[in-house]
Amino acid sequence: MWKAILSPDFFGTILRATTPILFATLASCVASKSGITNMALEGILLFSALFGVIFSSITHSWLLGLIITVVIGGLIGLILAFFVLNLKTDEILAAIAINLTATGGTVLLLLAFSGDRGVSSSIRSVSAPSLTIPLIDKIPFIGQVLSGQNILTWLSLVAVIVMHLFLYKTPLGLSIRAVGENKNAAESVGISSRRIQYIALVISGCLAAFGGFFLSGGYMNMFTKDMSSGRGFIALAAASMGGNTPIGGLLVSLLFGLASALANVMQLMSVMPYEIILMVPYLTTLIGLGVYYYAQKKKKERLSGK
Amino acid sequence: MSSAKKFDMLRTVLSVAIALLISFVIIFFVSAQPLEAIKYLLIGPFSNKRSMGNVVESMIPLIFTGTGVCIMFSANQINLAGEGAFHMGGLIATCVAINMSIPGISPIVALFAAGVVGALFTAIPAVMKITTTANEMVSSLMINYLALYFGNYILNNVIGDPAASTASYPLTAESQLPVLVDGTRIHLGFIIAIAVAILGYVFLYKTKLGYELRITGENESFARYSGISIVKVIVISQLLGGFVAGLGGGVEMLSPIYSRFTWASLLGYGWDAIIICTLSKKNPLYTPFAALFLAYLRTGASIMARRTDVTLEIVQITQGIIILLVVAEQFLSGYRHKLIAREAKAELKEEGVK
């Protein structure tokens, strides 16, 4: 078992399992930084997984399919923002509504588009290709882990850096953090909090759409009903454990990737019943959440001198 | 009735109407026989006694989880573990009902066990929140999956009948709830559900503890300064809510609909409960009406799906739109403003006459 775990293949599996969660985690970071919990990530992942399959098959190009999917993801973010910010809908209930619509809507759209029930077996979609970067693949071990990964996996790692720079080194990023930190203070220096939150939710939707596209065009090569299976929710947990920072989010996402990859290996070795192994990522999240917040609480108490 | 309340009702009705209208438009797009589909969706449930029975029987789990969520959400705890509590309730009721066959006693034991397990289940996020300040929404989302896979494990390894595929051993006849109306599957659970909804209302709106709970939900700081123990309120509300949801799972399992435990995936009643809670404005007394609406819509949709080319899933879209519009505070707010202004003017005039 240890031999299987220490192989580059295993680390590759971790990265593959991390990719969709990482995109969604970054999406959750941006939204949370602007002061809004984006629980609709689950629905956006699911919608994007379907749209990725549909549009890549229509355009015969994974890139065009990805672009259209990301635009639609942004639109869903926009819809969420409209309801939350303009119509003053509770953000959790609005998200639940979007998630419900996604569960039913994807099945309905798939049926209307191709006549498939639940699995897109008759759609000839185009998956994102894998990518080997010269020089990097020469590095021992790390090169073996990274080379041949899907282009979206690479992109997710790049996105961490981009989002970090965006949030901490650009004026817009500063505005987003300011609005999330204290809406009134931000308003008082002339930042329109509504505009900023709109932008944050649209970015959040776009990022989640990358993750959704990867699910059906990278991780797997087709759409299946409910294929997001709680990854959007895990991302919420990951982002909040990572302190809503991109770097922290990456580390926690990797932890979940590790849990899923471990589950895969354990399944092959049949050391434990299958159902118990499936619990591993969720249990890891739950325990991690408890430990993280407990540490935070202790830290706060220490600082306030109790 | 005050104009604000009248407006709330009007808005709910209008939201439902708009949601249905959008659904009809979607049906026109995806179906080759749209008129027939809409006809089955709207009046299908009235076509025979069995379909009307289906409406009533599908109300039952919705009333339970709806009431449970009303209690949990009233304390402003966004605990979404009702889904898992329902699943666990059904599982535990099965474990009891397979092994016990004492008439009268075994359903009571099974239902009680289901309720207790449900209560303990929804208490997990609450206890986590109190001890570690972890957000209850996120942790409750995670434990739902634990409930699912735990249930699958028990189903496949402990209570699974080797002679059947993914099903438990059959429940004993003595444990099942009796049918109330011949020719349908309407069972005793309906009476229990209505009783639970009424008790939930009495608890929330007529007792001291229920009042404390709602105050905490509306303004936690105010509640704390008034000397209400927040920890007590959170724990009790989540225990009670979970008990009701778990009980619902147990009742559903012992109903004539099932003869074995076959839940290999989450059934979604926990999410439906949020629609019920939204439509009934967190008041358990209204949950049967909200449940009736949802159950009617679903029965209609399943008849439609059987007779035409439109799938059942269209209902989820309708439900999503309804939630969005009902909870959108600013939706029709201009009209609301006018309504209140008119009422205020009328009052002023009356005072002037006096």
Q: Sketch the domain layout of chain B as residue ranges.
A: 51-289
In this predicted structure, the answer to whether residue A205 has a pLDDT above a threshold of 90 is yes
Q: Is B311 in Cβ contact with A111 (below 8 Å)?
A: yes
On whether residue A137 sits in a domain, the answer given is no
Q: Is A237 in Cβ contact with B274 (below 8 Å)?
A: no
More confident call, B181 vs A204: A204
Helical axes A91-114 vs A41-59, angle rounded to 10°: 30
pLDDT at residue B1, rounded to an integer = 57
Please report which confidence band the pLDDT of residue A3 belongs to, taking 50, 70 and 90 as the band edges: low
Distance CA B81, CA B60 (A): 19
Tell me how many domains chain A contains.
Answer: 1
Distance CA A40, CA A52 (A): 18
On whether residue A269 sits in a domain, the answer given is yes
Most confident by average pLDDT, A243-252, A285-294, B137-146, B241-250: B241-250
Q: Is A286 in Cβ contact with B142 (below 8 Å)?
A: yes
Question: Nearest chain B Cα to A109, which residue?
Answer: B30
Is B291:B279 a contact under the CB 8 Å cutoff? no
Q: Does B48 touch chain A (CB under 8 A)?
A: no
Distance CA A245, CA A262 (A): 25
- Domain of A8, CATH number, reads 1.10.3470
Question: Nearest chain A Cα to B23, which residue?
Answer: A105
On whether residue A75 sits in a domain, the answer given is yes
pLDDT at residue B354, rounded to an integer = 58
Taking residues A121-134, report their average pLDDT: 80
On whether residue A141 sits in a domain, the answer given is no
3-state secondary structure of A233: helix
What residues of chain B lie within 8 A of the CB of A244, using their CB? none
Closest CA to A96 of A209, A199, A253, A233: A233
Question: Nearest chain A Cα to B31, which residue?
Answer: A112
Q: Does B29 touch chain A (CB under 8 A)?
A: yes
On whether residue A132 sits in a domain, the answer given is no
- Residue A11 exposed, middle or buried by CB count within 10 Å (0-12, 13-18, 19+): buried
pLDDT in tens, A230-240: 899 989 988 98
Q: Is B132 in Cβ contact with A86 (below 8 Å)?
A: no
Label the pairing between strands A149-150 and A130-131.
Answer: antiparallel
Closest CA to B175 of B232, B224, B102: B102
Comparing CB atoms, the residue among B131, B313, B324 nearest residue A89 is B324
Is B70:B278 a contact under the CB 8 Å cutoff? no
What residues of chain A lie within 8 A of the CB of B315, using their CB? 104
Query: Which range is least confidently modeled, A39-43, A268-272, B16-20, B282-286?
Result: A268-272
CA distances to A10, A13, A229, A257, A303 from A146, in Å: 11, 10, 26, 15, 42
What residues of chain B lie within 8 A of the CB of A86, using their CB? 330
pLDDT at residue A4, rounded to an integer = 66
Residue B11 structure tokens: 């808005």
On whether residue A89 sits in a domain, the answer given is yes
Distance CA A162, CA A174 (A): 14
Buried b (16+ CB within 10 A) or exposed e, A78-107: ebbbbbbbebebbbbbbbbbbbbbbbbbbb
What residues of chain A lie within 8 A of the CB of B150, using their CB? 275, 279
What residues of chain B lie within 8 A of the CB of A28, using their CB? none
Four-CA torsion A228, A231, A235, A236, nearest 10 degrees:
90
Pairs of CB atoms within 8 A across A/B: 146
Domain with A280, as residue range(s), is 2-126+147-296
Please report which confidence band the pLDDT of residue A285 belongs to, taking 50, 70 and 90 as the band edges: confident
Helical axes A231-241 vs A193-214, angle rounded to 10°: 130
Q: What is the pTM of this model?
A: 0.89
Assign domain B51-289 one CATH number from 3.40.640.10, 1.10.10.10, 1.10.3470.10, 2.102.10.10.
1.10.3470.10
Spell out, as residue ranges, where chain B has pLDDT lower than 70: 1-2, 353-354
3-state SS track over A139-157: CCCHHHHHCCEEHHHHHHH
Phi-psi map region of B177: left, alpha, beta (phi>0 left; psi -120 to 50 alpha) = beta
On whether residue A94 sits in a domain, the answer given is yes
